Structure 1
Amino acid sequence: MTDAQSIARSAQRITLTAANWAEAALDAIAENGIEAVAVEPLARRLGVTKGSFYWHFTHREALLHAALELWERYETADTIARAESSSDPRERMHSLFRQLANTDQRSERILLALSGSDNTAARSCVQRVTECWRSYVEVGYRAMGMDATEARHWATLAYSTYIGTVRMRRDNPDALPTGSDFNDYLRFLIKTLIPGGVGSVAGNRDAADLLGAARATGARLSA
């Protein structure tokens, strides 16, 4: 190998970041499951040599951990941050449910692949994402005036509805509306999952504590 070739390969390894590898790993998981996270196929996908991988990671599990961490951030901290742009609890819930309903197919496929995997790290990641979402939705219901038990039940129902929709998109997509009909369906879901009779309760200490915990989770994932 000439000096020029050596320099070029070193530059390639440096230019391609660990995040690039993690994104490629997520693409592989979405397409073929967690078993598809392998060094050589990903190197071919990225158009680099295996040396680029070992520049950033010591082994496959380190890459898988980075990919799971990235997906978890997308699904929790990033989405919650968008919902938090509104100070009104009802509008935050609307934003949250709209985002859930419009989740991209890659993210849905990753969720299904990870939840169906025997990999302990993958299943733990899904559990954390699920609980973060469920807790945040519970916060929204508490902020709208529900008591603790009622909010917990509604939050579980809301997240279960989302998971059911994701599975239906995979198993029976023709059963779901498309185009403008989907917007009508979305309005129906939001109307159903955000009861019209619930009023906002300012200064609810328990809801404030829960919201603080949810925000702290988002902050840790963003760091």
Structure 2
Amino acid sequence: MVERRTRKPTATRLTAGDWTAAALEAMARGGLAAVAVEPLAARLGATKGSFYWHFANRDALIEAALQRWETDHTDAVIALVEAEPDPLARLRTLIGTVIESTAIPGADAIELAMLATAGHPHVAAALARVTARRLAYTARLFEDLGLPPQEAGHRALVAVSAYLGHAQLAHATPGLVPGTPEQRRTYVDRLIGLVTGP
């Protein structure tokens, strides 16, 4: 009788997406300096060989992680907002979604990490694309409310600046920003009133 040998199950192979998700988590915790191949490999239970299977070098990983950040934190929000048929409801959904996200512990960490490392060439390029896209999209929402393009652009700048300021305050001094969902809804109502008023 021949003894059958059973194969050990092989570990799940990591994808490029696994590495980019880990890189974004590292950035959120420790900024761009935290994106290092060996610690990420250890965190993922992988070898450096797995990393080099997917990426030529650390810069390629950073580029992929920044692209994922752009997709997850801008494209996904825009898709959510676009589901609203009414222009004012779209603006309210946008502002409400981004303000509410600052209440989730750590949710704004990646955004703040990007701003803190804005001088890095890769981050600077991604921030420029993301900020231009966010401003253009928000301006379009104001145009949909009937405002002329120049005024829509000014109000979009105010709205995006309000979000970034709120995110910074929520991170640095959480006790100074609205703490409950009801308080945040009231805050969003006031912000909508300010940016859509005469």
Q: Normalising to structure 1: TM-score of the pair?
A: 0.78
Supply the distance in 1 between the matched residues of 2:36 and 2:84 (Cα, whole angstroms). 41
Matches within 5 A, 1:101-112: 101-103=99-101, 104-112=104-112
Supply the distance in 2 between the matched residues of 1:81 and 1:35 (Cα, whole angstroms). 31
Specify the code of the residue in structure 2 equivalent to 1:112. L
- Using a 3 Å threshold, how does the CA distance of structure 1 residues 99 and 156 change in structure 2: closer, same or farther? same
Aligned counterpart for 1:27 among listed residues 1, 25, 28:
25
Specify the alignment match of 1:116 in structure 2: 116
Secondary structure at 1:86 match in 2: coil
Q: CA deviation at 1:35?
A: 0.6
Q: Check whether the contact 2:139–2:152 (CA below 8 A) recurs between aligned residues.
A: yes
Matches within 5 A, 1:143-222: 143-179=144-180, 180-195=182-197
State the number of aligned residues.
188
Q: CA deviation at 1:106?
A: 3.9
Q: Check whether the contact 1:111–1:126 (CA below 8 A) recurs between aligned residues.
A: no
Secondary structure at 2:108 match in 1: helix
Specify the alignment match of 1:43 in structure 2: 41
Supply the distance in 1 between the matched residues of 2:106 and 2:38 (Cα, whole angstroms). 22
Matches within 5 A, 1:1-16: 8=10, 12=12, 15-16=13-14
Supply the distance in 1 between the matched residues of 2:191 and 2:107 (Cα, whole angstroms). 21
Specify the alignment match of 1:58 in structure 2: 56
Give % identity.
Answer: 36
Unaligned runs of 5+ residues in structure 1 are: 198-223
Specify the code of the residue in structure 2 equivalent to 1:144. L
Q: Which runs of 4+ in 1 moved over 3 A?
A: 104-107
Question: Which deviations, in whole Å up to 9, do the C-alpha atoms of 1:34-93 show, x marking residues without a partner?
Answer: 010000100111111112111111111111111000000112211111111122211111
Q: CA deviation at 1:29?
A: 0.3
Matches within 5 A, 1:69-108: 69-103=67-101, 104-108=104-108
Specify the code of the residue in structure 2 equivalent to 1:192. L
Supply the distance in 1 between the matched residues of 2:47 and 2:196 (Cα, whole angstroms). 51
Q: CA deviation at 1:178?
A: 0.7
Q: CA deviation at 1:107?
A: 4.5
Specify the alignment match of 1:212 in structure 2: none
Supply the distance in 2 between the matched residues of 1:86 and 1:131 (Cα, whole angstroms). 22
Specify the code of the residue in structure 2 equivalent to 1:187. D
Specify the alignment match of 1:136 in structure 2: 137
Supply the distance in 2 between the matched residues of 1:154 and 1:116 (Cα, whole angstroms). 25
Q: Check whether the contact 2:92–2:188 (CA below 8 A) recurs between aligned residues.
A: no
Supply the distance in 2 between the matched residues of 1:130 and 1:99 (Cα, whole angstroms). 17
Specify the alignment match of 2:65 in structure 1: 67
| CA RMSD across the alignment | 1.8
Question: Which deviations, in whole Å up to 9, do the C-alpha atoms of 1:73-125 show, x marking residues without a partner?
Answer: 11221111111112221111111111111225545211221222131111211
Aligned counterpart for 2:16 among listed residues 12, 18, 23:
18
